[in-house]
Amino acid sequence: MLVMEFLLAVSELYGDSYLTHIMLPVFLLAVGEEAELTFFPSATHSGIKGLRPRTTVAKRLATMCVLPLLLAGVLGGPSKHEQLVEYLRK
């Protein structure tokens, strides 16, 4: 619960742009989704893409551990409710 509150506080502090262009792509990659990394320096792309789960066990762990943080802490922000609904439908 504390981590989700922290993520929401960071998004409130830094704003919607930070949430959309920095936090969301990192969490999407960490759960195995595709994400746009245009706002990151090109030197960091491979490191960030390295967060993507590669094995079956890593995918399960990402689903159990990272996905709830993505849904509640990142997409749970006030400006992301429609995107949360869309993601959940998918």
Q: Encode pLDDT of 26-37 as tens digits.
A: 999 999 999 999
On average, the pLDDT of the chain sits at 91
Q: Phi, psi (5° rounding) for residue 15?
A: 95, 175
How many whole angstroms separate alpha carbon 5 and alpha carbon 36? 25
**With contact defined as beta carbons under 8 Å apart, do 19 and 79 qualify?**
yes
Tally of domains within the chain: 1
**With contact defined as beta carbons under 8 Å apart, do 17 and 39 qualify?**
no
pLDDT attached to residue 2: 82
- Segments forming the whole domain that contains residue 75: 2-89
pLDDT attached to residue 1: 66
How many whole angstroms separate alpha carbon 60 and alpha carbon 78? 28
| Average pLDDT estimate for 29-56 | 95
Q: Is the pLDDT of residue 58 over 90?
A: yes
> For the chain, how many residues are written?
90
